Chains A and B, each alone.
Chain A
Amino acid sequence: MVTSEAVVPAFDLLRWIPLIPLLGSVVNIFFGQALGKKNAAVLGCAAVGASFAIALYVVMQLPPAGIFRDIIYNWIESGSFKISLSLQVDALTSVMLLIVTGIGFLIHVYSLGYMGHDEGLARFFIYLNLFIFFMLVLVMADNLLLLFVGWEGVGLCSYLLIGFWYEDPNNTIAGNKAFIVNRIGDFGFILGIFLLVTELGRQGIWTLDFAELQKHVQMLSPATIGLIALLLFIGATGKSAQIPLFVWLPDAMAGPTPVSALIHAATMVTAGVYMTARLHFLFALAPATLSLIAWIGAATAFFAATIALTQNDIKKVLAYSTVSQLGYMFLAVGVGAFSAAIFHVFTHAFFKACLFLGAGSVIHALSGEQNMRRMGGLKAHMPKTYWTYVVATLAIAGAPLTAGFFSKDLILWQAFSHGAYVLWGIGLVTAGMTAFYMFRQLFMVFHGESRADSHATAHLHESPASMTLPLIILAAGSIFTGWLGAPEYLWGSAWDHWLQPIFGAAEHHGSVSTEIIVTLLTLAVVAGGIYWAYVKYGKAGAQIAAESENLGYRLSLNKYYIDDVYDALIVRPFTAGSRFLAQIIDPWVIDGTVNGIAALARGFSWVARGLQTGNVQHYVAGVLVGTLALLAYYIGQL
């Protein structure tokens, strides 16, 4: 971005990347019924596939340090304030572009199998394509306002998809929760945008373009930048499920599993990380905010991991795991390692999507069973699902040479080498817990004796190819994507090289030997976590069914009662206040005032209308009296 200002070639192809999924969605809205659900679904997949093909072509055309821009039209023009509806692709966008369209496409294909029996299949693909459209707008926007459009759009699609099975009110409530919690974050986000615009405007710069912002943002005072960064980060805590706004993400698992994989693991929830990386020049000028981000990231990673240790729902474990991994990403952002954060976004998208789709495959096979305490022994029945799950579990746990190993290690190493030893320690412990809860899940689901009831096992089968094929591709990605970002002591990082034009050259602190020692330490902790999971859940005769009664276990199982605390401290007072306003203030004070004024007018009218008798002679008398009075007045004047 810095070096490429001279040459910004226009590239009309860019607009088709988001437009094709939008078209797919619109066509299905109007003709989905007529096409039949099978064709509608295939159309949805094809739209995203085409989008992926174009994206791949564009990224291959993109020179290193290059940037493509497609200005569609001027959206807002007022004096010197100008916002165009334009898309751009640079190195950072290209990463997100490939994640969104590539993994999006795989998950679309997977949904063909997973949602195949669902009556609302066309509706599902309408939402899914719409989501891809908004997500692409988000990552391709070349100004903050357009990014915000995408930001809100994906929030809407998330809401629609969480509540996809709307017959169950719990799903609708979960959708509402996600939407409302996100609104709180978005409130901060939009305040940040307002502040940025007005403060820069006060300096004579009216713009929201990323390129322009990067040039001018240092004109602002450090305090202002800190506040703007903080407000924008509040938006990110909502979208990316960080403390204190993470509560919606576990509930969002009420949606269909492909949705959890696509929106609530691979793409949308990483939008916060993307946004901070996109505005890295702004965040880099706000060290206090950055350090807050690092702490919130580390705290989120830790707490979410402790909750994940004891969850019984197969998707809830993955949900808290996602929150935890997002915490890692913000930890990386907080220590200024934007490249590492995006790298973790990239690798996480693969292995977490793979895990969610694997979980979906299990749920599909067990006719909707989600409780891991009623699973077990599925290894023999679902070999493809099992082996891909093993690979993805190894990847997220950080086993050597898997994607998670490289990306998580990079983050931990960045934290360590920036001198944030406490944060590094938290991250290290979290890595151990990650290994524990993931292998706990693996053992509970696939190993040991089957604990499923007969209803669940009635249709026990390996999933169809449309589901296992994406799993296999994602599992491959869970290993090989990490190799792009290998540390210097192995074969060096192509990743840093690719993103270098955006984030600047990677700084190298510390020596290689320290780095290797830190890595070995991480591996030791991870191995400890895996071993502990094996002892507790994997070994023959492990007591899986029993739940511990001690305090720590119950705290973790009940998510530290955070939902109850929020309910008691925020939701209940708020609803009580709303009820007070609705039942006391509104009918009595507001309606009372309005109705009182009306009643007053009616009372006066009741008196005054006695004057209008309908008898003409009375009126004439009135005229006479008036005339005489006027006459008397003028005579008196003489």
Chain B
Amino acid sequence: MVPLNHYLILSAIVFAIGVLGVLARRNLIVVLMSIELMLNAVNLTFIAFSRFLGSMEGQVAVFFVMAVAAAEAVIGLAIIISVFRHRQSLDPQEMQLLKW
């Protein structure tokens, strides 16, 4: 059986990739995907603990996260399409109007 630590390390790596993606990528769609990546990294942690502790609660949480992630993806993509129609660009560094 694969030990718990392996799951956690994989999860941390995937989460870190997601964080980097959110911070550094220049395309909003990729940023959105990176957020999904982070969410799924967390899901992986939930499942691993659930399995190792023999509790169902982690799995329940995962379903919630998946539901929320689906909704978020829908709204996020809708916004992205709207932004693109408006500006012909998806580079977050060009979206700096909301400041002093």
Contacts and interface: CB of A to CB of B under 8 A. Distances in A.
A624 interface: yes
B95 interface: yes
A613 B23 contact: no
Contacts of A621: 23
Contacts of B86: none
Nearest to A609: B100
Interface in B77-99: 92-93, 95-99
B56 to A, nearest CB: 29
Interface residues of A, number: 10
Nearest to B97: A614
A617 B93 contact: yes
A615 interface: yes
B41 to A, nearest CB: 15
B22 A613 contact: no
Contacts of B92: 615-617
A624 B100 contact: no
A617 B19 CA distance: 10
A620 interface: yes
Contacts of A613: 96, 99
A614 B92 CA distance: 10
A221 interface: no
A513 interface: no
Interface string B32-60: 00000000000000000000000000000
Contacts of A612: 99-100
A612 B97 CA distance: 11
A578 to B, nearest CB: 43
Nearest to B24: A617
Residue of A613, A617, A620, A624 most packed against chain B (CB within 10 A): A617
> Chain A interface secondary structure, helix, strand, loop or mixed?
helix
Interface residues of B, number: 13
A620 B22 contact: yes
Nearest to B28: A616
Contact of A617 (B23, B97, B100): B23
A620 B100 contact: no
B99 A624 contact: no
Contacts of B93: 615, 617
Interface in A366-389: none
A609 B23 CA distance: 21
Contacts of A615: 92-93, 95-96
Contacts of A617: 22-24, 31, 92-93
Contacts of A609: 99-100
Given A615-B92, A615-B93, A620 B98 contact: no
B23 A624 contact: yes
A607 to B, nearest CB: 12
A620 B95 contact: no
Contacts of B99: 609, 612-614
Contact of A624 (B19, B31, B98): B19
A56 B31 CA distance: 99
Contacts of B97: 614
A151 to B, nearest CB: 59
A609 B99 CA distance: 9
A614 B23 CA distance: 14
Contact of B96 (A614, A620, A624): A614
A163 B95 CA distance: 68
Contacts of B23: 617, 620-621, 624
Given A613-B99, A617-B31, 20 more contacts: A609-B100, A612-B99, A613-B96, A614-B95, A614-B96, A614-B98, A614-B99, A615-B92, A615-B93, A615-B95, A615-B96, A616-B92, A616-B95, A617-B22, A617-B23, A617-B24, A617-B93, A620-B22, A620-B23, A621-B23
13 contacts: A609-B99, A612-B99, A612-B100, A613-B96, A613-B99, A614-B95, A614-B96, A615-B92, A615-B93, A616-B95, A617-B23, A617-B31, A620-B23
* 9 smallest beta-carbon distances between A and B, as pairs: A614-B96, A614-B99, A612-B99, A609-B100, A615-B96, A614-B98, A621-B23, A617-B92, A617-B23
